Structure 1
Amino acid sequence: MAQVKIHGLRHRLAPRREAVSQTIHACVMEVLGMPADKRAHRFFHFEAEDFLAPGGRSEDYTILEIMLISGRTVETRKRLVRRLFERFESELGIAPVDLEITLIESEAANWGFRGLHGDEAQLSYAIKV
């Protein structure tokens, strides 16, 4: 299971919402082996006065928070972050300096979906990758 929050300036993020979502999902399918139908993305659009960025960032500054069930190796998590940086730059024109990514892991028992705890659910994909 992976849930993604995408934060950015409304006038920059909203027009390319679908492309951003497709890029993220392609990365999690490739690196984490997530199925095509497991996309859970939420967009948070801000006006400039409500989204302050560190120095040296452009209006493309984007923050990704990716919540995952614990179990992926450090190398897998690093590969996902690298792939996101690469594809955001090559497909969306968002430079690595303008992208911040946080992976947030939580034990399966802390998740609830389809009426079950995450540690009780039968998943169609592997977590231990």
Structure 2
Amino acid sequence: MGQVKIYGLRSALSPISREFSDILHGCVVDAFKYPENKRAHRFFYLEPEEFFYPEGRSQQYTIIEISLFEGRSIEAKKLLYKLIFERMETHLKITPNDIEITLTETPLHNWGIRGKAGDELALDYRVAV
């Protein structure tokens, strides 16, 4: 499943990247019943002159892009959003107004993983949740 990209201002995101990743991964595990041992997060730190964001957002504005296998229910996706918004605000004081999340789903056969097409893999978790 997931390849996660996280974009934000270096000054705001870099000091909290480990905790941010831990919280985000916990949300994915809880919402999608995803294995604890499968985390693929990449942080993209931007300088102020490289990151333009909408009016009304703070310097904590963060974009989360998650590429994943198709198959999760709408309810599971909405639970993921809810958990991310709640936990980031509770633990890191990043308001929901400063977080944007995009899920991009693709068929298993569009993934190449461990030398195979994704639809040929024996997964140790369910995608349809």
> How far apart are the structure 1 equivalents of 2:14 and 2:65?
17
Q: Are positions 1:117 and 2:102 aligned together?
A: no
Deviations 1:95-127 (A, max 9, x none): 000000001100000011111111000111100
**For residues 71-86 of structure 1, what are the structure 2 equivalents within 5 Å?**
71-86=71-86
Deviant stretches of 4+, over 6 Å: none
Matches for 1:26-105 after TM superposition, within 5 Å: 26-105=26-105
Q: Distance in 1 between matches of 2:39 and 2:17?
A: 14
CA displacement 1:41-98 (0-9 Å, x = unmatched)? 0000000010011000000000000111000011111111111111111111100000
Structure 2 unpaired stretches of 5+? none
Report the secondary structure of 2:119's partner residue: coil
For 1:84 and 1:103, the matched residues in 2 are separated by 13
In 1, Cα distance between the equivalents of 2:126 and 2:44? 29
Find the aligned partners of 1:100 and 1:9 in 2 and give their Cα distance: 14
What is the root-mean-square deviation in Å for CA atoms of aligned residues? Answer: 0.6
Partner amino acid for 1:4?
Answer: V
Superposition TM-score, scaled by structure 2 size: 0.98
The 2-side partners of 1:91 and 1:113 are apart by 33
What TM-score comes out, normalization by structure 1 length?
0.98
Query: In structure 1, what residue type is equivalent to 2:3?
Result: Q
Where do 5+ consecutive residues of structure 1 fail to align?
none
Aligned residues: 129
Partner of 2:7: 7
